[in-house]
Chains A and B, each alone.
Chain A
């Protein structure tokens, strides 16, 4: 145990304690409060609560809507993340080539990531407007009639995935680009000398070297997509017919709309537990490189 004698040490200690307090106040307390609420029956946040133990959990787990929402969230996360990874790695490779105007393209590619979600949602609504939307008009001109983009469960779910991929691929691209730039050129030279083609260099040099970045990106994007609320709410509000109602929307609707605060809290708590277990399993199978800690 070291003594915190210098001003710098004390500053670091103070910042550490402050961050712990902030995390406690802004994250731990609300989470614990939500867990507490999940054991009560309450019609609102101001009504008298009635202790019901695990009844909210058994009720929620017996509800097909919960499992539908769970599967949907998993599907959103896996499909969107898979597409973002493929596109992100591809774009990163392109942007890593010595092209003219590379700096401009690298800056421009980040733009979707900088846009507020509400702007993306409103733009999407206009592009897909049933009569005057640009995509609707194009579809008409191509002889596909007037597609009801939002009215079909599958197309509504696809819209969310496409919007998410469009928004978040730049993040993946930039992260991988940073990873690519840290790979020593000598490794590629050595691979070339050994007669490795482009695909083999990618598979045996690039990907293994990007593994730490890949693991973090997969983890972050999975968590974010599984918990994504804003884009889903703004685009479809969980509809049509609950086709895009994943766990965060189900939890919100129960707690804030359907007079079921305990049920909403139970869904949120279960979602938290499921995600925690999935992260633990992920780290079990893919431990992050801890060489730095051993130094």
Chain B
């Protein structure tokens, strides 16, 4: 036994020492734990953001995962990246929301989906983030004055052509439908065809076929959401477009009613067709799989019937931030990502992910990509779509005076595509096919 120095009580020998060690250990553990928990890094490490990526190419997935790892390193917040094909992103996002485990950030490829989500109160406004930069035309889709989507690319569809075959036949870049159809006819021989244009009731058809009709001034909706196609001048234009497609059809390979994006790329890169509509992806594929064709490939916009206007079919992709318990962290990540990783991400498809942010075109980091440097002419052409006043940029899903679900419904009714198919496959008179289209579109937006 020994005497307690303060109280004078007798205590077992060694008990004081044991008690002191315990206390010290306890205090030390408490300090470490408290310090650890209080430290922002460890506190943040418990947080996880779920990101639904809809760009499934190997490079894009890699870039997203590298960005996620980098963000975890600098902030301690874990970013889990799941990837789905673009056309499945909305379904997956809906399912996650319905299941009560929503993704915090998602890629989307359809403005109607953004509108639906925003109107359902599921999205965080990104207006402040978006307003930091200057954007190209028709790429922001505000809902009730707020921006709910951060665009990362344009995917305009224009026409590619084989310069060597044009030269061999003495052809010129067409300015009118007739010239285009004549060129396509001249380039059709045996198993080689003039042009591949999907005409099926699918995304490929609706993205790649209507460019000619936009160039000729066709509008589906007026400024009051009325069906402007149901007016005599528009009917005439649309019927003319259908007749042009009919004229073009003998120069197209069989099976166009089932043609997909891969069909177009495969047929052009395989040398089966001399012309094909697409965005920058086609040139990337040529560089990768058929480099001998890359240097022989030129490009032009869809011409109209009289040589007055040109057009591209609109295409776009972007990200949304979903209202979740992690929304604030998701907003911080988006802010960081769009300032620090945006160009890295664009570089994963350097010609296909056309920047919608105008500052990127001047950014030396973006211009430093070898494919962007090599295809300066194509890049200038792409940029000119944004800056020229005479280029028409339209698509079925972005018709109308404001972002809305109705053009999305028209898109999914495939009224335009069924009119083309009726004209080409059933040989339906153009006027009758036009009326069919009008009925389809009207029914879809009731």
Contact = CB atoms under 8 A, between A and B. Distances in A.
Same complex origin of A and B: yes
B94 A152 contact: no
A258 B254 contact: no
A256 interface: yes
Contacts of A240: 200-201, 257-258, 421, 425
A46 B255 contact: no
A4 interface: no
Given A47-B120, A131-B191, A149 B254 contact: yes
A46 B95 CA distance: 9
A201 interface: no
B412 A258 contact: yes
Contacts of B201: 237-242
A257 interface: yes
B46 interface: no
Contacts of A132: 191, 272
Given A237-B201, A258-B412, A46 B97 contact: yes
A106 interface: no
B95 A45 contact: yes
A150 B412 contact: no
Given A129-B255, A238-B201, 13 more contacts: A46-B97, A46-B122, A128-B255, A147-B254, A148-B257, A150-B258, A151-B256, A151-B258, A236-B258, A237-B200, A257-B412, A258-B413, A259-B116
Interface in A86-115: none
Given A237-B201, A239-B201, A259-B405, A151 B254 contact: yes
Contacts, number: 96
B193 interface: yes
A44 interface: yes
Kindly name the residue among B117, B191, B272, B405 whose own CB sees the greatest number of chain A CB atoms within 10 A: B191
Interface string B422-437: 1011100000000000
B83 interface: no
Those 10 A-B pairs whose CB atoms lie nearest each other, nearest first:
A130-B254, A148-B254, A130-B255, A240-B257, A150-B258, A130-B253, A258-B412, A257-B412, A151-B257, A45-B94
Given A131-B272, A240-B258, A258 B444 contact: yes
Given A46-B122, A240-B421, A259-B409, A150 B272 contact: no
Nearest to B413: A258
30 contacts: A44-B116, A45-B94, A45-B95, A46-B117, A47-B119, A128-B255, A130-B255, A130-B256, A131-B191, A131-B253, A131-B254, A131-B267, A131-B272, A136-B254, A147-B254, A148-B255, A151-B255, A153-B425, A236-B258, A237-B200, A237-B201, A237-B202, A239-B257, A239-B258, A240-B201, A240-B258, A242-B201, A242-B418, A258-B412, A259-B112
